Structure 1
Amino acid sequence: MPLPTEPIGSIPRPPELLTAPPSELAAAQDHAVRETLRRLEELGSPVVTDGEQSKPSFATYPIAGLPDLAPDGAVIPFADGHQRQLPRLTAGPFRYTGHAVDYLRAAQRHATAPVKQAVIAPSALSLLYPADGIDGYPREMFLDDLVDEAEADIRSCLDAGAHVVQLDFTDGRLSLKLDPSGGVLDAFIALNNRVLERFSADERARIGVHVCPGGDLDSTHSLDVDYAGLLPKLFQLRAGNFYLQLASEPDPDRILAIVAGHLPADARVFVGVVDPIDPRVETPEQIRDRVLAAARHIPVDRLGTCDDCGFSPFADDTSTSRDTAFAKIAARVEGTALAAAQLGV
């Protein structure tokens, strides 16, 4: 079996999509999805995504248009000083207004390669609930509703034929910055497992979890948080695949040693070999060498490659050009193939 390589998710949107008037938005989105899939397949990507061309953001697609929201929710600070702010839930019951399967089906209409689908982790959406509660809608009732909605979001994608469903768990590393004691991370792991444990072993083999320190407007929210505090707990999640940011880590060998010591026996790890924030395009040889370094720690039959993060998780992020993103993906695909040949797989 060739060494697998997969994109993480978002790709910068073309200018004509970002500037499309409301009356032309649906057509612009469909064109951007088709163009994204075409370019990924032309690059030889064995697995493709829609590049999140139609999502408002990787995190907020399930709540777009939800009426029971106020704008003053949790704030996510980034290292360069900019912030992203989540909305705050004001009433229940909590229900998704948008579902990932709709993006998946739209992509499948145009793709010839297997399509993976990213979904937001329920732990991230748990941040919508206010600290002071909601009258008549206690937190535990909200979490019960959230678990049901998250399960349905994942299951519908599996049933529709997604190659894999990827939970975006960027809030995992962020939680250790907000609460260095690890209590919030423990709660996030437990909540995500409430969802994952509803799936069979065969289904979980097609479910993955992606973690990174955030990547927005060429900045991160938690790169200064040591992976050593996250990874042992991360691998408690009942998932079959783990997608780890690694290319931007200053000491990847140390992180890979931790991964090797905690990776579940039935799981595969996809190591990040492309840094979306770095404006320099990696060469295939650099990718090859990163893969070979990972293979010194991880058995080849449990190893894959990916990008560190999405290239544009929020629709308004134009800090990386679309052409640069595709050039980096091309290097990943070619470099992974070079490594596979050298490793004999």
Structure 2
Amino acid sequence: MPPTLPPLPTTVVGSLPQPDWLIDRDRLGHQFPPRVRAAELWRIPADHLLEAQDDATLVTIRAQEAAGLDVIGDGEIRRESYSNHFATALAGLDLDHPGTVRNRSGLDVHVPRVTGELRRPSPVQVEDVRFLREHTDRAVKITVPGPFTMAQQAQDDFYGDDRLLALAYADVVREEIADLFAAGADIVQLDEPWLQARPEVAKRYGVEVLDRALAGAAGTTHVHLCFGYAAMVAERPEGYSFLPELADVPADAISLETAQSHLDPATLAPLRGKGIALGVLDLSTPEVETPEVIADRVRRALDHVDVDKLLLSSDCGLKYLPRAAAAGKMRALAQAAAVLRTEL
């Protein structure tokens, strides 16, 4: 049985700061997140890297527990970016001769080049879930790059149709979700920032792709949308360009950014009846908000969401923050939730 969660359970979106002894954080912070492999970023030799990543993940688990979070993730410590770890583990790709796409900042970046039928030779993140499950007694969440986003971050030299490419990614993601729940995940989250970045494409088949990926999921699922890492994308629009469309997607909760973007909480009204993971940590600054500031961000939204289905989270991943700042923000989030629970 999954652990019983309190009202307003707390979590973070996914990534947390990786130790500088593990990965070159300076280089990581001065380039856009890699879409192909970037082994040169790791400071540990390949034959010791897995052990080092396990050690760093354990530190990250303990940091979340110490902060008081209710749902624990692996911090994506083993990944160079949120998407490339999974996306480059598939068959049907030529990674030695990558393609290019224009990213959401308008720059051409190297991406996986699809040259054959996409397949998943073996589960990608099952061992990550097992490690989490072994080292915490709290609810555990694992994140997977969403199929729409992976399709937008690939060069298609095989399918000849962007919708068919996205549906192929949905099939491998659906298989992975099944294995992750079987391994002990309480929540599986699909990260889909490109639904916001490419709304004109998303409105053609984004819901269809998510429906296919989430079909038959055996546990709680979330879909995360954001406006990009604060360290990489400073400008925030006033609202989401693809949001009401998610009302009928078979995910239990939609994870959204509201702190840095100052999102009007009335925007959430079309998602009534669905869970919301409310992003209330501003990641554009290392300054740690007070619990009262965070609580006020939550209070603004309470009239527009189903409170019994509300989770409290970060806007996006905390990967690019200093470790002390990330720890402080997580602690303040847990303290804000404690205050708010007395008001329910």
Q: Determine the structure 1 residue equivalent to 2:271.
A: 263
| Residues 29 and 237 of structure 1: CA distance in aligned 2, closer, same or farther (over 3 Å) | same
- Name the CA distance, whole Å, in 1 between partners of 2:308 and 2:212: 29
Check whether the contact 1:92–1:142 (CA below 8 A) recurs between aligned residues: no
Percent identity for Structure 1 against Structure 2: 29
Check whether the contact 1:75–1:86 (CA below 8 A) recurs between aligned residues: no
| Residues 335 and 73 of structure 1: CA distance in aligned 2, closer, same or farther (over 3 Å) | same
| Residues 183 and 63 of structure 1: CA distance in aligned 2, closer, same or farther (over 3 Å) | closer
- Name the CA distance, whole Å, in 2 between partners of 1:4 and 1:144: 32
Check whether the contact 1:76–1:85 (CA below 8 A) recurs between aligned residues: no
Q: Determine the structure 2 residue equivalent to 1:330.
A: 331
Compute the TM-score of the two structures, normalised by the length of structure 1: 0.83
* Residue pairs, 1:308-319, within 5 angstroms: 308-312=315-319, 319=320
Deviation at 1:56, TM superposition (A): 2.5
Deviation at 1:220, TM superposition (A): 1.7
Deviation at 1:171, TM superposition (A): 0.8
SS at match of 1:72: strand
Q: Determine the structure 2 residue equivalent to 1:130.
A: 155
Check whether the contact 2:272–2:304 (CA below 8 A) recurs between aligned residues: no
Structure 2, unaligned runs of 5 or more: 1-5, 24-42
Match of 2:18 among 7, 13, 18: 13
- Name the CA distance, whole Å, in 1 between partners of 2:88 and 2:60: 23
- Name the CA distance, whole Å, in 1 between partners of 2:202 and 2:70: 36
Q: Determine the structure 2 residue equivalent to 1:105.
A: 130
SS at match of 1:74: strand
Match of 1:192 among 210, 215, 226: 210
- Name the CA distance, whole Å, in 2 between partners of 1:225 and 1:73: 29
Structure 1, unaligned runs of 5 or more: 177-181, 313-318
Residues 122-163 of structure 1: CA deviation (Å, up to 9, x unaligned): 1112225535x42xx554765554232111111111122211
Q: Determine the structure 1 residue equivalent to 2:86.
A: 62
Shifted more, 154-163 versus 84-93: the winner is: 84-93
Deviation at 1:184, TM superposition (A): 3.6
* Residue pairs, 1:79-228, within 5 angstroms: 84-95=109-120, 99-130=124-155, 133-134=157-158, 137-139=159-161, 142-143=165-166, 145-176=168-199, 182-196=200-214, 198-199=215-216, 203=218, 206-215=220-229, 218-220=231-233, 223-224=236-237, 226-227=239-240
Deviation at 1:11, TM superposition (A): 0.5
Q: Determine the structure 1 residue equivalent to 2:341.
A: 340
- Name the CA distance, whole Å, in 2 between partners of 1:96 and 1:290: 44
Deviation at 1:61, TM superposition (A): 1.4
* Residue pairs, 1:38-77, within 5 angstroms: 38-64=62-88, 68-69=94-95, 70-77=97-104
Q: Does 1:235 align with 2:247?
A: yes
Q: Determine the structure 2 residue equivalent to 1:179.
A: none
Compute the TM-score of the two structures, normalised by the length of structure 2: 0.84
| Residues 183 and 21 of structure 1: CA distance in aligned 2, closer, same or farther (over 3 Å) | closer
SS at match of 1:9: coil
Q: Determine the structure 2 residue equivalent to 1:281.
A: 288
In the alignment, residue 126 of structure 1 is paired with which amino acid? Answer: A
Deviation at 1:185, TM superposition (A): 3.5
- Name the CA distance, whole Å, in 2 between partners of 1:83 and 1:332: 36
Larger strand fraction of residues:
2
Check whether the contact 1:96–1:149 (CA below 8 A) recurs between aligned residues: no
Match of 1:22 among 36, 46, 51: 46
Match of 1:272 among 279, 282, 285: 279
Check whether the contact 2:256–2:276 (CA below 8 A) recurs between aligned residues: yes
Residues 226-262 of structure 1: CA deviation (Å, up to 9, x unaligned): 31x3211132322111111111123x3x3x21212x1
Residues 162-192 of structure 1: CA deviation (Å, up to 9, x unaligned): 111111011111113xxxxx24443222211
| Residues 127 and 221 of structure 1: CA distance in aligned 2, closer, same or farther (over 3 Å) | farther
- Name the CA distance, whole Å, in 2 between partners of 1:222 and 1:72: 27
